C-alpha cells in the first residue's frame, strides 16, 4: 500500500496526530513492522557570507605555508633558468662565431623530449618531494662542467650540459606537476599554476637580459655559478616541505607497457585528447614567429635587430597580465575554454603583425604575450585535474613532449620558410591557423564546464556493494 504525499500518514508511515491518539505504524506485506530507513542528515548551515565558492584566488593559495615554501624554491630555480638558457647560446656564438651552432644549443635542450614516456615512468616510481629535491641537486651537479669551458674546442661540453639540462628539466616538470597536486586542493590548482606562470613571464622580462649582461661582464663561469646556486637553493627550500606522499608505482609485471600509459591516458580522456590535439596543431605554426619577428623588425619596420628586445619586453608585460587573469579564466571558461582562448588570442596578434606598423604591432605583441600563460595554465590545470595522482608524472611528461615537439619543429621550419617566402604571408598563415585551432578547442569547452572540477576517482568494489545494499534497504 502506498501513501500519498498529502494523506493522513507521514513520509515514514506514521499517522499524524493532533492529540494523544494511537500511532498507526506502516507494515510490510507479511504483517511485520517495516524497518525505518536511515535518519536523514540535517542540512549544514551556510557560513556567514553565503556558501563557499568553488574557486579561490592567488592570495588564497599563497597563504598556504607549504605552497609558499614551494614558490620560494621555484623562484630560485626559475631565475637560474631564465638567466642560463639564452646565455648558453650566446656563449656558443661567442666561441664559434656561428649562428647555426648557437641555435643548436636550443635544440640540444629540446632533444630529450623524445624520452618523455621513460622519464615520466621513472618519476612516478618515486615520492614527489624527495625526487624533486634530488633532481634539483643533480641539475646543479650537471652544470658544474661549464666551469671547464675555455675555447672553441670545449663547445661539446656546452652541448652535453644543455642536453642533460633538458633531460632534468623534463623530469623536474613532471615531478612538479605531481607535487603541486599533493600540496594544493583541486579547486586552487588554477591559482597555483597562475602564480607560477605570472612569475615565469615576469622573469622573461629581465632574465635573458641579465644573463647576457652577466656573460659580457664576467664570462661563462658566472653563468655556471648562478645556475648551480639557483638549483641548490631550490633543493634546500623544497627539502623543508612536509607532504602526504603519493605511493609510488612499482614496475609491475608489464613495465614496458606501463611506460606508454601516459600517452594512452592522453588519448583515452576526451578533454585531454581534444586539448593536446588542438594545441598541438596550433603549435605547428606558432613557432614560426620566433624567426618572423626578426623579419618584421628588419624588413617591415626598417629598424635594427636590437629592437626585437623592445617587443620581447612588451610581450613579457602581456604575459604578466595573462598570468594574473588565467585563474579567473579557468573558473569562468573551464580548462579547455581557457586553452582555446589562449590559442585564439594568438590569431589576431599574428594577423596584425602582417602589416608593419607599430600602432598595430605593440598591441599585437601584447596580446600574444597574454595568450601564453592562458594556454599554459589551462593545459596544466587540465592535466592535474583529470589525471590520477599515481600516474601524473607520466601524463605530464607525455603532454610536454606532445606539445613541445610540434613547437620545436615549427621553429626550425619557420627559420627555413622566412628566407623563401614573404614574412607577411607567413604571419597571415599563422593567424588563420591559430584561429582555426582555437575554434576547434572552443567547440570542446563543454568537456570541462566551469565550476567544481571532476576528479578522477574510480569507485572501488566495496563502494559498489555498499551502494547496492543501501539501495535495497530503501
pLDDT tens by residue, the chain, 474 residues: 444 444 444 444 444 444 444 545 555 555 555 544 444 444 444 333 333 344 456 778 888 888 888 888 888 888 888 888 777 877 887 888 776 677 677 778 887 887 888 888 888 888 888 899 999 999 999 999 999 888 888 889 988 998 899 888 888 988 888 888 888 888 888 888 888 888 888 887 787 777 777 877 888 888 888 889 999 999 999 888 876 655 555 555 455 666 677 788 888 889 999 999 999 889 888 888 877 888 888 888 888 766 777 888 888 889 889 988 888 999 899 999 999 999 999 999 999 999 988 899 999 999 999 999 999 999 989 988 888 888 888 888 888 888 877 887 887 788 788 878 888 999 999 999 999 999 999 999 999 888 655 555 443 433 433 444 444 444
Measure the CA–CA gap between 411 and 407, rounded to whole angstroms: 6
Q: What angle do helix axes 65-96 and 99-110 make, rounded to 10 degrees?
A: 150
H-run or E-run covering 404:
helix 392-417
CA R_g for the chain: 28
What is the CA 115 to chain-centroid distance, rounded?
Answer: 19
What pLDDT shows up at residue 136? Answer: 92
Per-residue confidence (pLDDT) for residue 56, from 0 to 100: 54
Query: Considering the domain 66-244, what is its CATH architecture?
Result: Up-down Bundle (1.20)
C-alpha to C-alpha distance for 264 and 274, rounded to whole angstroms: 13
**CATH code for the part of the protein at 260-474:** 1.20.1250.20
Cα 214 to its chain centre, rounded Å, is: 30
- The CATH 1.20.1250.20 domain(s) of the chain lie at 66-244, 260-474
Cα→Cα distances 352→79, 291, 348, 428, 432, Å: 32, 16, 6, 9, 11
Rounded CA gap, 424 and 418, in Å? 10
Taking the alpha carbons at both ends of the chain, their separation in whole angstroms is 15
Q: What is the DSSP letter of 98?
A: -
Would you state the pLDDT for residue 29?
53
> Could you identify the residue written with the cell 542540512?
43
Residue that the C-alpha cell 601524473 belongs to: 392
> Distance between alpha carbon 175 and the CA centroid of its chain, in Å?
12
CA torsion sign for 80, 86, 88, 91 is negative
Q: What angle do CA 425, 427, 428 make, to 5 degrees?
A: 65
What's the DSSP call for residue 185?
Answer: -
User: What sign for the dihedral angle of Cα 67, 71, 73, 77?
Assistant: positive
Residue ranges of alpha helices (H) inside 125-219 are 128-143, 155-183, 189-217
* Cα 69-71-76 angle, rounded to 5 deg: 100
Residues contacting residue 188 through CB under 8 Å, at least 6 positions apart:
55, 56, 60, 61, 64
Amino acid at each position: 500500500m502506498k501513501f500519498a504525499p498529502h494523506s493522513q500518514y507521514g513520509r515514514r508511515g506514521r499517522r499524524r496526530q493532533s492529540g494523544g491518539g494511537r500511532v498507526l505504524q506502516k507494515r510490510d506485506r507479511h504483517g511485520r513492522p517495516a524497518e525505518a530507513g536511515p535518519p536523514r542528515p540535517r542540512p549544514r548551515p551556510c557560513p556567514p557570507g553565503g556558501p563557499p565558492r568553488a574557486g579561490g584566488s592567488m592570495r588564497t593559495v599563497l597563504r598556504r605555508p607549504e605552497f609558499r615554501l614551494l614558490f620560494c624554491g621555484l623562484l630560485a630555480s626559475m631565475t637560474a633558468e631564465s638567466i642560463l638558457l639564452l646565455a648558453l647560446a650566446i656563449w656558443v656564438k661567442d666561441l664559434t662565431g656561428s649562428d647555426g651552432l648557437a641555435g643548436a644549443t636550443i635544440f640540444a635542450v629540446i632533444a630529450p623530449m623524445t624520452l618523455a614516456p621513460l622519464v615520466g615512468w621513472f618519476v612516478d616510481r618515486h615520492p614527489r618531494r624527495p625526487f624533486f629535491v634530488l633532481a634539483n641537486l643533480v641539475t646543479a651537479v650537471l652544470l658544474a662542467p661549464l666551469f671547464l669551458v675555455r675555447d672553441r674546442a670545449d663547445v661539446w661540453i656546452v652541448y652535453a650540459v644543455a642536453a642533460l639540462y633538458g633531460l632534468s628539466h623534463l623530469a623536474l616538470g613532471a615531478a612538479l606537476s605531481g607535487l603541486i597536486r599533493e600540496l594544493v586542493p583541486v579547486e586552487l590548482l588554477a591559482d597555483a599554476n597562475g602564480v607560477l606562470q605570472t612569475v615565469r613571464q615576469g622573469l622573461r622580462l629581465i632574465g635573458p637580459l641579465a644573463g647576457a649582461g652577466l656573460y659580457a661582464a664576467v664570462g661563462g663561469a658566472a653563468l655556471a655559478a648562478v645556475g648551480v646556486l639557483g638549483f641548490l637553493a631550490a633543493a634546500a627550500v623544497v627539502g623543508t616541505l612536509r607532504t602526504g606522499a603519493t605511493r609510488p608505482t612499482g614496475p609491475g609485471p608489464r613495465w614496458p607497457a606501463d611506460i606508454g600509459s601516459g600517452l594512452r591516458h592522453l588519448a583515452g580522456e576526451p578533454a585531454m585528447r581534444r586539448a593536446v590535439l588542438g594545441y598541438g596543431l596550433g603549435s605547428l605554426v606558432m613557432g614560426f614567429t620566433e624567426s618572423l619577428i626578426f623579419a618584421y623588425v628588419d624588413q617591415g619596420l626598417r629598424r635594427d635587430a636590437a629592437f626585437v628586445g623592445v617587443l620581447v619586453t612588451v610581450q613579457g608585460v602581456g604575459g604578466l597580465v595573462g598570468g594574473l587573469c588565467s585563474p579567473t579564466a579557468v573558473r569562468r571558461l573551464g580548462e579547455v575554454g581557457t586553452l582555446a582562448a589562449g590559442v585564439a588570442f594568438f590569431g589576431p596578434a599574428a594577423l596584425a603583425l602582417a602589416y608593419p606598423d607599430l600602432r598595430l604591432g605593440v598591441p599585437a605583441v601584447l596580446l600574444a604575450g597574454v595568450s601564453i600563460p592562458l594556454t599554459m595554465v589551462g593545459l596544466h590545470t587540465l592535466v592535474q585535474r583529470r589525471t590520477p595522482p599515481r600516474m601524473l608524472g607520466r601524463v605530464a611528461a607525455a603532454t610536454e613532449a606532445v606539445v613541445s615537439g610540434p613547437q620545436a619543429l615549427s621553429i626550425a621550419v619557420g627559420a627555413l620558410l622566412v628566407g623563401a617566402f614573404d614574412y607577411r604571408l607567413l604571419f597571415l598563415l599563422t593567424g588563420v591557423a591559430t584561429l582555426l585551432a582555437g575554434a576547434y578547442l572552443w567547440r570542446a569547452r563543454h568537456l570541462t564546464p566551469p565550476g567544481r572540477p571532476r576528479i578522477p576517482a574510480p569507485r572501488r568494489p566495496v563502494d559498489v556493494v555498499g551502494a547496492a545494499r543501501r539501495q535495497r534497504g530503501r
